[in-house]
Amino acid sequence: MKRSIVNRAVYLLGVAIYSAGILSSCTTQATEPANILTAGTSSTPKELPVVEAELTSPPMVPKPITRKTAAKVVVRLEVREVVKKLADGVDYTFWTFGGTVPGKFIRIRQNDEVEFHLMNHPDSKNPHNIDLHAVTGPGGGAASSFTPPGHETVFSFKALNSGLYVYHCATAPVGMHIANGMYGLILVEPEEGMAPVDKEFYVMQGDFYTKGAFGAPGLQPFDMQKAMDEKPTYVVFNGSVGALTGDNALKAKTGEKIRMFVGNGGPGMVSSFHLIGEIFDTVYPEGSFNTKTNVQTTLIPAGGAAIAEFKTDVPGNYVLVDHAIFRAFNKGALGMLKVEGPEDKSIYSGQILDKIYLPEGGTIQEMPTAKAPAAPKAESKEERITLGKAVFARNCQACHQAEGQGVKGAFPPLAKSDYLNADVHRAIGVVAHGLEGQIKVNGELYNSTMPKLQLSDEEVANVLTYVLNSWGNKGGVVTTEEVIKTKAISKE
């Protein structure tokens, strides 16, 4: 009903305009249309200085703002539809703000007036617009920036609120425009500015939906069904698998203060942003200038952002992930920060030891860095028994059991053991070198493995002395010298 009225009205208006045009075209010269650029309708009484915004492609961030007063900032952002790599051997038609995913980083100051130019490249197939979450006004600017290919639109806004904000395209079908990569970040610095840091990075997560499975090669078309089911084929940082790894890894030096501006374009996924091996000293959750300290993983909603700050203490590779971890290892949500510089063993030692673990135990070898405290030396039989008991508990008890009873059919007994008591030197060899193959103990056959134990000669002497003086065995003392001698003879 309404539609027909509107239609008719539009039609009549069209006819009127057209007729007027025809008539005027026959009579008068048409006047040149006024060029509508620099259209900022400033309501401030004094003229603000005009600044052309510095825009950067990810992972770079424009220089911090040093101005102490507001300015009129001119931002010129070009929309391009480009075919680029989504993963190795996989291409995708990205729709972009400035040729990259995410789009160019915009940095302004609270209370700046922004004159925003949106240019849509003539080769684009579709019209586009922009909704900046930093804008106070209908659609975040979308309604004023609807731009067909080969055109440019201009609107102005005042940045009333500080914060790190997402911008994105809002042209129907909105989901598809965002799913094709149309998002980026705009930082509105607070009036007092931000504390200086050594490095700033721009990272933005997004999910992609392709007809083919993850890694399926070729130019992959958009899969609407997967998008509506919110089952992404790819979840990536900065627009492609590997955008932040290998040669593209972010780089820093030890002792630097790092600030990451992290966004999440979505369209569908919430990011559990985490940097493996670092704790964020400060996080500005949801891009708001209120801080939290000592954060491990910060949640970034679709269409949201966060600022994460930390100091690099220890060199190495630090991996950025969406901690919904299958996305990191199976869908691409993985980046890297390479930190170079001197080691600081007091904070992180690196690997000290790599050895076979067997539940029978094993002792620690010497520490490469610190001096291990000297092992206590037994001065008497009693001390040998006391120290040997501790060695037994750590290394032998798991198999031979607390009372030396062993486990029938698996681990031979030490209590009242004919095999043990018959030959102490043989026992020394077994403890020092281990034993493999069939033996007969107290009439039972055993055929398993006794591992070679990493014990000092002193410990071998002590543990054997303890065993010989427990559970009804024959007693006696095994000295360290005896162990050394026996080991030398029985060396296999």
Check binding of 210 to other proteins (CB under 8 A): no
Is residue 133 within 8 Å of 213, Cβ to Cβ? no
Q: What is the DSSP secondary-structure string of 147-185? A: B-TTEEEEEEEE--S-EEEEEE---SSHHHHHHTT-EEE
Stretch binding other proteins (CB under 8 A), from 136-144, 250-258, 340-348, 411-419 = 136-144
Q: What is the dihedral of CA 201, 202, 203, 207, to 10 degrees?
A: -170
Extract the tokens encoding 279: 């704790």
Q: How many residues bind other proteins (CB under 8 A)?
A: 55
* From candidates 100, 110, 111, 129, binder to other proteins by CB under 8 A: 129
Q: How far is the CB of 88 from other proteins (least distance, A)?
A: 22
* From candidates 78, 115, 131, 200, binder to other proteins by CB under 8 A: 131
Q: What is the DSSP secondary-structure string of 395-435? A: HTHHHH-TTS--BTTTB---TT-HHHHH-HHHHHHHHHH-E
Check binding of 10 to other proteins (CB under 8 A): yes
* From candidates 62, 149, 215, 316, binder to other proteins by CB under 8 A: 149
Nearer to other proteins, 59 or 232 (CB): 232
Task: Pick the closest to residue 456 from 387, 386, 360 (CA basis).
Answer: 387
* From candidates 224, 276, 324, 439, binder to other proteins by CB under 8 A: 224
The verdict on whether omega for the bond into residue 59 sits within 30 degrees of 0, i.e. cis, is yes
Check binding of 21 to other proteins (CB under 8 A): yes
* From candidates 22, 160, 370, 489, binder to other proteins by CB under 8 A: 22
Spatial distance between the Cα atoms of 131 and 169, rounded to a whole number of angstroms = 6
* From candidates 48, 51, 82, 324, binder to other proteins by CB under 8 A: 82
Q: How far is the CB of 32 from other proteins (least distance, A)?
A: 6
* From candidates 221, 277, 350, 472, binder to other proteins by CB under 8 A: 221
204, exposed or middle or buried, with CB in 10 Å at 0-12, 13-18, 19+?
buried
Who's near 479: CB < 8 A, 6+ residues apart? 461
Who's near 121: CB < 8 A, 6+ residues apart? 78, 79, 80, 81, 149, 150
Nearer to other proteins, 17 or 279 (CB): 17
Check binding of 122 to other proteins (CB under 8 A): yes
What residue ranges bind other proteins (CB under 8 A)?
A: 2-3, 6-7, 10-11, 14-15, 17-19, 21-22, 25-26, 30, 32-33, 80-83, 93, 122-127, 129, 131, 138-139, 142-151, 170-174, 176, 180, 211, 221-222, 224, 228
